[in-house]
Structure 1
């Protein structure tokens, strides 16, 4: 069992400094320019790992029999899995991955649940960047889609960038 857990965790990098030198810096962020993104196949194993990491125990996410009897007719992912998807759908050089980036606020809308087996794509861009009180801010938006082109969730937020 430990071996299966180990191999399941492999796709999710935990050394956030590993590729730090590859990441775009303030001057490289161009408002309006689409960010490079990667498709990601969401697995039940990834959902279970996420649930375990955040202490989520809802049977709609973890128990196939209970989920089939539930309102969605099968297993779904927790809405906040978009956090995992943000990193799974972006390459190592993406500016959102920079160590030292601070979430300065966000607002998300959830349309339909992501499900195991979905191939998730992300459309993302910086909308604006500005300096306030000697801090570097970026306003950004993100939209996650499933393989059918349906919007799973969309959000807008601000981050404070490292100097």
Structure 2
């Protein structure tokens, strides 16, 4: 199985699901993603979080984790890595209005990550379209890495 993903997040924009396509309770289509040290390093560099636990194998082996782990912000990378280009969460103009995450076990290089995700609700308030959604990321052992609930303001 190929775990590569498209890095052009605007690709397929015209095929993205719109407001009318969001059906609360229906699972979103997701893709498995194999996490690499390189992906963790790029995320750390992009966010400025250069904690040696995330990037230095020699140091990380001396900790209780016994090796490199991903930072909690990994859910941002995973949200895009585990969804196809036509996913409604990728729509340009989407605004993150709120989110809450719980972290259970750390993601590690070599983990094959899967996502279970769905819209919980959608509603209109004033002239804005909102979607409430939940996301749960699992590793190959079926352990929950992290889970979250968010609100997004949707483009039309």
TM-score range, shorter chain: over 0.9
| Between structures 1 and 2, the one with greater helix share | 1
Q: Tell me the CA shift for residue 42 of structure 1.
A: 0.1
Superposed counterparts of 1:2-41, under 5 Å:
11=5, 13-14=7-8, 16-41=9-34
Superposed counterparts of 1:75-154, under 5 Å:
75-154=68-147
Q: Tell me the CA shift for residue 17 of structure 1.
A: 3.0
Q: How many residues align?
A: 153
Considering only aligned residues, what root-mean-square deviation do their CA atoms show, in Å? 1.1
Q: Which residue of 2 aligns with 1:58?
A: 51
Offset from partner CA, 1:59-101 (integer Å, 9 cap, x none): 0000001100012111100011110000000001000000000
* Unpaired stretches in structure 1, ≥5 consecutive residues: 1-9
**TM-score normalised according to structure 1 size:** 0.91
* Unpaired stretches in structure 2, ≥5 consecutive residues: none
Once superposed, which parts of structure 1, at least 4 consecutive aligned residues long, lie more than 4 Å away? Answer: none
In 1, the alpha carbon distance for the partners of 2:11 and 2:39 equals 22
